[in-house]
Chain A
Amino acid sequence: MATDTRTISLTVNGQPVVAEVEPRRLLVDFLREDLGLVGAHIGCEHGVCGTCTVLLNGASTHSCITLAVQADGADISTVEGLADGGELHPLQDEFSAKQGLQCGYCTPGMLMRAREILTRNPDPSPAEVREAIASNLCRCTGYQFITEAVLAAAARMRATREVVP
């Protein structure tokens, strides 16, 4: 069958990507199946749970209700781009230290959402962290240790920023 496709050009974790996609192809399927970036997960498929969260031009986006063609020209960041080589990002490290994950399924979405939060507000209060991550469901942790992890990572990231002007 001749399938109608579109060409999209975008940047994913700093790498340029050009691809042919069906107009109806979801961004999450494009990332997972076409690019092999399986960190963005599929949870509810209707934009509620947030486990598919990636950053699109720096803004957290539910990739399960975003079409791949909508990402044409965009800069996408996924959890795979978070660690710096072998070194975990402070958010990843603090999620581990505080046990801010159990099954791990919401974790990539939570990490990307947290990264966005801390970009916008490097010094959030616990209440601000809770309000900000309320976009993402976690069924395991009850959010307490996630909140602690985000706050601990924020403190480390602020300290790093002060040292490196």
Chain B
Amino acid sequence: MTTADQATPGAPPVRDHSAKRRWVGQSIRRVEDPKFLLGRGGYIADRITPGTLHAAVLRSPHPHARIVGIETAEAKAAPGVHAVITGAEAAELCDPMPDFGPDPARHTWRCLAAEKVRYVGEGVAVVVADSRYLAEDALELIEVEYEPLPAVTDPERALADGSPLVHEALESNCAYERSFDFGDVERDFAEADVVVRDRLRWHRSGGQPLETVGAIAEYDPGTGSFTIDTNTLSFTSYLFMAAATLKVPVNKLDIRPVPAGGSFGSKLFANKPAMIAGMCARKTGRKVAYLEDRVDNISNCDHHGSDRVYDVELAMMRDGTMRGIKIDVIDDYGAYIQFGVGHHGNALAQVVGPYTIGSVRYRVRAALTNKNQQGAYRGFGSEVNNWMLEQMVDKAARELGLDPVAVRRMNFIREFPHFIPTGNVYDSGDYERVLDHALDLADYGHWRDEQRRLREQEGRYIGIGVITAQERSVFSATEFWFWFDEPGAPVTSTPESVSLKVDATGGITAVLYSCAFWGNSPETMVAQLVAEEFDCSPYDVSVVYHGSRDGLPATGPGGSRTTVMLAGAVEGAAGRIKEKARRAAAHLLEIGPDDLEWADGGYRVRGDPERKKSLGEIAIMLHLFKHSFPEDMESGLDASKVFDHPYTTMPSADRKDLGVFYPFVGHACHVPVVEVDIETGAVTFLHYAAVHDCGTLVNPRSLAGHIVGGTAQGIGTALYEEFVYDEDGQLLSSSFMDYLIPTAMEVPELTLGHVETPSPYTPHGIKGGGEGGRMMAPAAINAAVNDALAPLGVRLTELPMTPERILAALRAAGHAG
């Protein structure tokens, strides 16, 4: 591996990671856990106080219908009911929802549907009552007259002429279309020996955390201010948009984070429940809780995952060299498109995977259909690209008669930093080491022998998948707008902020600003990073989650950014505190600041280690004895750091180069071994090895937990989970009876390995790692199933690979199941 060149344009300075670390790298127990173990988690539903009113939403049973009339008198008169608000009334009370989509005025999204419903589950009215029971009773009394309209749920049909229009104002169901070329695509294809083609289909699934989205809102007419507690706070810097929805100035809106029972992306900027609760609180003059139930969360959460149809061509040389790739993708966004096609920006961060592919054509069409809209789900669209690319590599190897592992290995990028054709950079990596480690942990040779033996002796179909793929981390905002030649908001900053406050006894409190607990470990991460800086115990660090109103600029979890960004913010704030503490200590010890060195939790005189001041000794002086110090030193010992994205460069005007927007790029190799029962279509795991490299690990155990958990979600994506809409637009999987989440019986024990290639650009060399499992597993399991069925000439090209789909593929190949 080569090291980064300091002169790389726009790159931050290359860091020296040689320092010994005491806390970073330790699998300490998480500091968050005791309250959860005691049943005192303080989730949103735990915070409802007596006298709080409850809201319940009436959902549309129609996929597409005009709302002709709503009769609410009977519901309003029902016991315990305080208000009934229809969609039309809500449109008076609230402005449209925050929306980063391409043309929000032509596909307007509101907290409740006003004139027509566009998917099953869309809210049409809300009831506010003394209890959830009474609110749901009253929902039954609302009469809605619908004029049903034809629905469209197939993205290709939606784009065809004559399709029903989801938004008439748009005059089309194509919300966005763009094609980019990076590198000399035509030359690479002209010079290729073989072009491998395929059509691939990835159906929609979603995060589905066990806790739904909820909010408790209060409006104070005396100050004109909202206070909203919710499990979804993120993008504090963008909450002026939510304030606009509620029609208040942003400094009159305080959104306060509470722990979330899981997110996996699905609570990212999920403001709708908070907006509904806020609207109801203002209308009734009371505190109102709105907590989604499970059907709300499945059908109306605005966080379904990618739903794509791919037509792909991969240009190959006969020896296995990959030259160029043409990707034509239609993505079914559902009825609205709140984040635009940012998901495809995400894919472009690592579109060529770990391979030296020289050119890329990427065409995306965003289709609108009568489904709940897409949001975020662990991977944010790049996991789909990983799956597509690995499928193509396997298919190419098969068509060329080459070993799929060897094809991967010969195309690996080996020098870093490496700029891929889109312009993004891979900061560092050692892909061959990851692959070798994974094959070793997987006992690859043994399983190849077993595969042959079991096939020949017992007629069993065993498959081994080997995929090598990327895990980009720490997004920059450009991925959301480089699509547009004249972007409305070419935002460049996605900062994260931390304040550190040292009290008079030397105790440290860290304040986080947009970083709710979502099941990740922000408190443990910050506690370990602070402990590393100050030589204290991580369990002595107190962590506070600050509300949005008077917070510092912050973005929150997403795109595997939290740990890296918090590390930068902690480092910056700690540096400022240490600088002041050094000056104070120098004064107290009557020596020059440069003669001091930090050691064991305080400053000591170089060469005279007995002369020292601990942080506590310095802190109490700074808190209480201002007049012992020079005039310009203020009381107290605290500092904040607004840490901006450390490595972003701007896209070129012609968009031949998108710049650097996702620079800290991890890598992984997953090797599942599966058995496919060709009678039933069932897939079971015989072994599963996974090796990840996401730079320096802060808490290896917690990262391992994310890998296993993400892999479990990837197993769901690959085999079980799908939000199924039928042709008429009905949602067939609106509960956990039909939306199948893997249990402990479906998820195998993983054999895990880590490689640590530190990032040259981040504190301690950390890269983000929270999404890795789900970014790899769907590709790996698809590869394994296809390997199992290869002797039958069967190849699955559609996820999830349900038993029905596997049996259908077998039948199509002439193997009656």
Contact = CB atoms under 8 A, between A and B. Distances in A.
Contacts of A133: 743-744
Greatest chain B CB density within 10 A among A101, A102, A130, A134 is at A102
Contacts of B259: 103-104
Contact of B29 (A97, A103, A147): A97
A35 interface: no
Nearest to B740: A48
Chain A contact residues, majority secondary structure = loop
Interface of B: 27, 29-30, 32-41, 43, 45-46, 48, 79-80, 133, 207-211, 259-264, 293-294, 517-521, 701-702, 704-706, 708-713, 735-737, 741, 743-745, 747, 749-750, 773
A48 B702 contact: no
Given A103-B518, A145-B705, A42 B45 contact: yes
14 contacts: A1-B79, A22-B133, A32-B46, A33-B48, A42-B45, A43-B294, A96-B37, A104-B35, A104-B36, A104-B41, A133-B744, A140-B262, A142-B708, A143-B744
Greatest chain B CB density within 10 A among A51, A95, A99, A146 is at A99
A95 B33 contact: yes
Given A140-B709, A143-B712, A39 B40 contact: yes
A24 B132 CA distance: 12
Contacts of B46: 32, 38
Given A42-B45, A140-B705, A104 B34 contact: no
Nearest to B38: A83
A145 B209 CA distance: 18
A141 B708 contact: yes
Contacts of B40: 38-39
Interface residues of A, number: 57
A95 B32 CA distance: 12
A37 interface: yes
Contacts of B263: 103
A69 interface: no
B45 A103 contact: no
A76 interface: no
A96 B519 contact: no
Contacts of A37: 39
A126 B744 CA distance: 11
A95 B43 CA distance: 19
A63 interface: no
Contact of B709 (A39, A92, A139): A139
Greatest chain A CB density within 10 A among B210, B263, B702 is at B210
B735 A48 contact: yes
Interface in A16-61: 22, 24-25, 32-33, 37-46, 48-49, 51
Given A46-B736, A99-B705, A131 B37 contact: no
A48 B262 contact: no
A46 B294 contact: yes
Contacts of B41: 38, 104-105
Contact of A131 (B207, B744, B773): B744
A111 interface: yes
A147 B749 CA distance: 10
A103 B45 CA distance: 15
A139 B209 CA distance: 6
Nearest to A100: B705
Contacts of A95: 33, 37
Given A39-B40, A82-B39, A143-B712, 9 more contacts: A44-B210, A99-B701, A103-B209, A103-B211, A103-B261, A105-B36, A105-B210, A139-B208, A147-B744
Given A49-B210, A103-B261, A105-B261, A79 B745 contact: no
Interface of A: 1, 22, 24-25, 32-33, 37-46, 48-49, 51, 78-80, 82-83, 88, 92, 95-97, 99, 101-108, 111, 126, 129-131, 133-135, 137-147
B215 to A, nearest CB: 15
B774 to A, nearest CB: 11
A137 B294 CA distance: 14
Contacts of B705: 99, 102, 140-142, 145
B745 A131 contact: yes
B708 A105 contact: no
A126 B260 CA distance: 30
A115 to B, nearest CB: 13
A69 to B, nearest CB: 15
Nearest to B78: A1
Contacts of B33: 95-96, 99, 101, 104
A41 B41 CA distance: 10
B613 to A, nearest CB: 35
Interchain residue pairs A-B with the least CB separation, the first 8: A39-B39, A104-B36, A105-B261, A103-B519, A142-B712, A142-B708, A79-B39, A48-B736
Given A139-B209, A145-B705, A80 B37 contact: no
A65 to B, nearest CB: 12
Nearest to B298: A44
Nearest to B80: A1
A58 B636 CA distance: 55
Given A43-B294, A144-B749, A105 B39 contact: no
A38 B812 CA distance: 52
B30 A96 contact: yes
Contact of A48 (B293, B521, B706, B737): B737
A96 B210 contact: no
Nearest to B708: A142
Contacts of A79: 37-39
B39 A102 contact: no
B38 A92 contact: yes
B168 to A, nearest CB: 36
A44 B264 CA distance: 17
Nearest to B47: A38
A101 B36 contact: yes
Contacts of A146: 744
B125 to A, nearest CB: 21
Nearest to A130: B744
B330 to A, nearest CB: 29
Contacts of A135: 743
A105 B43 contact: yes
B743 A41 contact: no
Given A41-B210, A88-B37, A102 B744 contact: no
A135 B737 CA distance: 13
A63 B133 CA distance: 16
B711 A139 contact: no
A99 B702 contact: yes
A138 B36 CA distance: 14
B79 A78 contact: no
Greatest chain A CB density within 10 A among B41, B259, B520 is at B41
Contact of B519 (A97, A102, A108): A102
A139 B713 contact: yes
Nearest to B293: A45
Given A80-B38, A99-B29, A142-B750, A137 B708 contact: no
B261 A143 contact: no
